[in-house]
A and B are shown apart, each in its own frame.
Chain A
């Protein structure tokens, strides 16, 4: 197993030990692969995910059987929803014990079936090398995703003489990477005919590394680009054609452009419900082109006029080869007007979290990597940060798993030790990711954590504002711990800000801190994320927009 991991050029494995993975850890000790000891298995999966998202290479985590494996489940599910290449190795009880309800036995392949791209229970030591190679291939090829390797202890103890591994040829998995030329011609024809074209760029652009092609396409066709949450950072929001986040909390320009477009080109997106809102009323005037490497996504959620299956990097180059530049002055003038409509800003008294995000946006270096947790702070980050570095916005989109931000920052920082990594979190999420500060401390990672402390589970409070007549239930933290003490216990610096006039200095000190640092901003809890499309409404019906 360890040899096979070395062959895949694995740099590090996020691990937590137990009786069922002793052997692998023992061999890892002698290997060039770094073993990073985490504090909770969920953290290991999210760290591997953060590593994978910034590097584009599979992240690897290793845990023991039973509770070790079940603790991974949220992390695997998050990676599955967001198409992140992940290799999760779980120790398993010996094959002779499998099925006997042995100590710390759970049916890992059974539990992870619905949340993995594929999984393997390795029963034969002679199959290990080939299976690992296959797992790395499956995790990254086509639409990436998590793969679980369940590795019984007796197999881990056995030895194999197998040295050579065959190249991968899976008769059941051959993703189609090149676009169909007939369909490409249709796309080119539609682009030439369109008066109000719009690109919707999703996470597939980042997964396939095709942000340059995206920009070329947008520029040559003078076509604005809206993003899904997962697609943010595929185009810098400084770019004149970039419209930013679309969807439930999308920016007015992005949402309205979708509703007004006559051609919508979806690139590497699932057209998820968070994006489309009311499906019937989605992009009512547009022909929809959907380009994705996973044919099962096409036509799943929204009607599609031109389906095109393939790897975006290849398909976009196929399209770019044949394109004639065009102008869309009228449409871009209309877009410019839409862009003048900003997301509503601060309404609350005291320090507004929105002000904090806008101040961060101003001072954040272009190469900074931002991770987020889940909640209001996540959406303010999505809406207000500039997203200049491709792959530099790392957030749990599909699963929306609180507790993601800090481990993801750790994974990203391990991959990019010299870059600034900022995790934006809330006081609820922070307490879910907290154990991993121990990992950050031990690895001496200078991660920066911006903690927007509103003493509420703000996003849920917001839902209760809109859907429960402001009857708040189980959303207020009336007696939060002293975050300063906590951070110091983990060897980090703690900065506190509660007044707008102190903000810029606090931010500057925090970002310049050489080690792990937390800036706790005590912010007004009343602020809500706007705009907001309420359930059942379509994208143009945005609360907070006149």
Chain B
């Protein structure tokens, strides 16, 4: 099972290494981890995607909660969320294929952010499913380079602000 944890932490040095150390020494599998400052500069928000069975996921939540620098841990897997990743793809595109590639980027509402003679850089945002679909569609043209952020997520609705 894959779960997403929204983790509010003190914005102090060492917190990231504490969290990373905790995951590695307890054998938890991090699929992705994104960290950045929040609207309150004294806190950061980590969005961590973890793979594991029920017991592991329960331990992940509890062990994170135990850390003094961690303020709040939410498993938001089953919440209504908006989630986004960002992906930059350098795809080969010469005279003969460029039109087709551009069409695909339009279908997925991606942006072309750089054009070379033989390649384009495509910027895509969306959730996991969309990322996979874009990558699948561009692969036949030749993906030369690909970088992706992890996922960030926010619970929908008014009440959840600040969670």
Contact = CB atoms under 8 A, between A and B. Distances in A.
Given A113-B17, A114-B21, A296-B63, A170 B58 contact: no
Contacts of A299: 55, 58
Contacts of A313: none
A117 B68 contact: yes
Interface string A111-123: 0011001100100
B21 A113 contact: yes
B109 interface: no
Interface string A154-180: 000000000000000011110000000
A117 B68 CA distance: 8
A294 B17 contact: no
A538 B65 CA distance: 33
Contact of B66 (A110, A113, A121, A294): A294
A296 B65 contact: yes
Contacts of B18: 113
A200 to B, nearest CB: 21
Interface string A293-314: 0111001100000000000000
A140 to B, nearest CB: 13
A295 B62 contact: yes
A172 B71 contact: yes
B25 interface: yes
Interface in B99-123: none
Interface residues of B, number: 19
A121 B14 contact: yes
B71 A296 contact: no
Nearest to B54: A299
Contact of A109 (B14, B25, B58, B59): B14
A516 interface: no
B71 A171 contact: yes
B81 interface: no
A295 B63 CA distance: 9
Interface in B1-36: 9-10, 14, 17-18, 21, 25
Given A118-B68, A299-B55, A299-B58, A172 B25 contact: no
A296 B18 CA distance: 17
B68 A296 contact: no
Given A109-B14, A113-B17, A172-B10, A296 B70 contact: no
Contacts of A296: 59, 62-63, 65-66
B147 to A, nearest CB: 28
Contact of A172 (B17, B55, B58, B68): B68
A138 interface: yes
Q: Which of B18, B67, B68, B70 has the most CB of A within 10 A?
A: B68
B75 interface: no
Nearest to B69: A172
A210 to B, nearest CB: 22
Nearest to A142: B66
Contacts of A173: 68
A349 B71 CA distance: 61
Contacts of B62: 295-296
Interface string B141-163: 00000000000000000000000
Given A170-B68, A171-B71, A300 B14 contact: no
Interface string B35-70: 000000000000000000001001100110111111
A173 B59 CA distance: 17
A172 B70 contact: yes
Contacts of B58: 299
A219 to B, nearest CB: 34
A245 to B, nearest CB: 28
A89 to B, nearest CB: 18
Contacts of B25: 114
Nearest to B70: A172
A110 B17 contact: yes
Contacts of B65: 295-296
A172 B59 contact: no
B78 to A, nearest CB: 20
A295 B60 CA distance: 12
Nearest to A137: B68
Contacts of B71: 171-172
A114 B19 CA distance: 10
Contacts of A170: 68
Interface in A306-331: none
B91 to A, nearest CB: 41
B104 to A, nearest CB: 46
B111 to A, nearest CB: 39
A516 to B, nearest CB: 40
A299 B61 CA distance: 13
A296 B56 CA distance: 11
A299 B14 CA distance: 29
Contacts of A121: 14
Nearest to B61: A296
Interface in A77-123: 109-110, 113-114, 117-118, 121
A399 to B, nearest CB: 15
Nearest to A123: B13
Contacts of B17: 110, 113
A118 B14 CA distance: 11
B136 to A, nearest CB: 40
Contacts of B70: 172
Nearest to B24: A114
A351 B9 CA distance: 60
What 3 A-B pairs are tightest by C-beta distance, nearest first? A296-B62, A118-B68, A173-B68
6 contacts: A109-B14, A114-B25, A172-B71, A296-B59, A296-B66, A299-B58
Interface of B: 9-10, 14, 17-18, 21, 25, 55, 58-59, 62-63, 65-71
Interface of A: 109-110, 113-114, 117-118, 121, 138, 170-173, 294-296, 299-300
Given A296-B65, A299-B58, 9 more contacts: A109-B14, A110-B17, A113-B17, A114-B25, A121-B14, A138-B68, A171-B71, A299-B55, A300-B59
